[in-house]
A = this chain, B = another copy of it.
């Protein structure tokens, strides 16, 4: 497309509870939406168990792919099975060290909890201190909702950002501590999305039309989602993603493709068409 390509991102989800099916991971979907809206390309999401080798392997693989923004979620708490930062340290050949910013955040936090009567002692016990051990060179990210600070580590050309698994804590740190940096530092593309619902033409008959239109418009990505059969007619949703150097340009390419698709589909068989409003911004 002639423009510098957008920054790449990956997410490493850590937690047995996800791989045992106990917990539906919604964190990566939330982050995926935010990254998409910010104009980055999320290339991969990897969920691994609470296992030091598995965590460090997943982070190392993301580094090897030269992914620029690597997020981890989960595994930052006080218990021994929370070992994400050990995994990040191993993957980047660093040591875990007592981080003075994180220490300060935890002191504040437990003083407040002590004053509220939630905890019995204000001192930093070994379990609490564990949450202040960050990879050498990392910056601590303030957690306004829970105890464990996040971690931001620049390694080579990659940022490794470790967020808690509790959704409210993850979102708080992302919004307040990470997104401002990302919007300033990442290479972003502008995006627009539009769609059509086609009733009466099966996906297999739409396929050649979609291929032909996609080939003519390299700045767009056209995808069909079969929605089953209603009242004897196939229902297919077509989603058109466009990119451009500006919001204006992204919207224009999507509009062009939707117009072409509408004309071509009308020629296929008695079909009804319905526009879907754009769902995500540039």
Interface residues of A (CB under 8 A from B): 13, 16-22, 24-26, 28-36, 42-50, 54, 58, 61, 77-81, 113, 116-120, 125-128, 130-131, 146-147, 166, 168, 193, 202-208, 210-211, 214, 221-226, 228-229, 232-234, 239, 241, 269, 279-280
Alpha-carbon gap, A228 to B224, bound state (A)? 41
- How near does chain B come to A244, taking the closest CB pair, in angstroms? 16
Quick check: A224 and B26 within 8 Å, CB to CB?
A: no
Contact call A33/B19, Cβ cutoff below 8 A: no
User: How many copies of this protein are present in the complex?
Assistant: 2
Apart from A17-B223, A119-B204, 17 more pairs, CB < 8 Å: A13-B45, A19-B43, A19-B44, A21-B29, A22-B279, A43-B48, A44-B48, A44-B49, A46-B47, A78-B203, A78-B207, A79-B207, A80-B207, A80-B210, A81-B222, A81-B223, A128-B204
CB-CB under 8 A from A22, the residues of chain B are 36, 193, 239, 279-280
Q: Which residues of B contact A54 (CB under 8 A)?
A: 43-44
Contact between B80 and A221, CB atoms less than 8 A apart: no
Contacts of A119 in B (CB 8 A): 202, 204-205, 234
CB nearest neighbor in B for A50:
B223
B45→A21 contact, CB < 8 A? no
The CA of A131 and the CA of B204, in the complex, are separated in Å by 10
| CA distance in complex: A163, B58 (Å) | 24
Inter-subunit contact B32/A21 (CB<8 Å): yes
- Docked-complex contact B43 and A46, CB < 8 angstroms: no
Kindly list chain B residues whose C-beta atoms are within 8 Å of the C-beta of A147.
Answer: 203-204, 226
A147 to B234, CA, bound (A): 12
If A78-B203, A229-B118, A269-B120 touch, does A46 touch B46 (CB 8 Å cutoff)? yes
The dominant DSSP class at the A interface is: mixed
A33, A46, A50 pick with most chain B CB within 10 angstroms: A46
B30, B127, B232: the one within 8 Å of A207 (CB): B127
Q: Which residues of chain B are within 8 angstroms of A208 by Cβ–Cβ distance? A: 125-127
Q: How far is the CB of A91 from chain B (nearest CB, A)?
A: 16
Q: Ordered nearest first, which 8 A-B pairs have the shortest CB separation?
A: A21-B33, A21-B32, A127-B207, A45-B47, A78-B204, A127-B204, A24-B29, A19-B42
Bound-complex Cα distance A58 to B166 (A): 28
Per the bound structure, the CA–CA distance linking A181 and B24 in Å amounts to 26
Find out whether the CB atom of A29 lies under 8 angstroms from the CB atom of B20. Answer: no
